[in-house]
Amino acid sequence: GGRAMAAVRDVEIDPEGTFKYILVRLQRPGGGEQRDIVRGTKAAEFHNHIFEKVNPEMEKLGYECKCLGGGKIEHNSKDKKIRVFGLSTGYGKADHSVTVEILKKEYTDYEITWSDDKK
C-alpha cells in the first residue's frame, strides 16, 4: 500500500555540480495515489538516460512513470544553494517551481531558486 510509495525517495540528485534532471510522476495503475519525484545526475548525457534508469525501478514497485519534463540543476553543497533552470529537448521544460518545492523537502536548510534561463 502506501508504504511502498513512501519508500521511494522524493529526490535523488548528485551532491555537487551542474547536471541534467527530470521531474517524474509516479502513479498506481488505475488511478489512486500519485506523486512527483526529482532525479538528476552528471552520469546522464541526455535526459532520457535518467528516465530509462528510473522507469524500470519504479515499474518493479508497481508504478507507472511519466516524465513531466526536465532541466538542469546546479548544486553547490558548500554554499548550500541549488539553482534549477533550463529545459529538456526531448521532454520539454519541467515546472521548475514544482521541482523547487520537492527539493525543499529534502534540502531544508538550502537556498533554492529557479529560472527559465538556458544556462
Residues 98-111: b if buried by 16+ CB within 10 A, e if exposed? bbbebbeeebeebe
**All cell numbers assigned to 106:** 529534502
**All cell numbers assigned to 44:** 546522464
Instruction: Identify whether 47 is a catalytic site residue.
Output: yes
Q: Is 105 annotated as a binding residue?
A: no
Residue pair 110/81 in contact by the 8 Å Cβ criterion:
yes
Task: Compute CA distances 23 → 4, 74, 78, 119, whole Å.
Answer: 19, 15, 25, 18
Which candidate in 47, 49, 75, 96 is catalytic?
Answer: 47
Binding residue ranges for substrate: 20
Residues noted as catalytic: 47
Q: Annotated binding site: which residue ranges?
A: 20
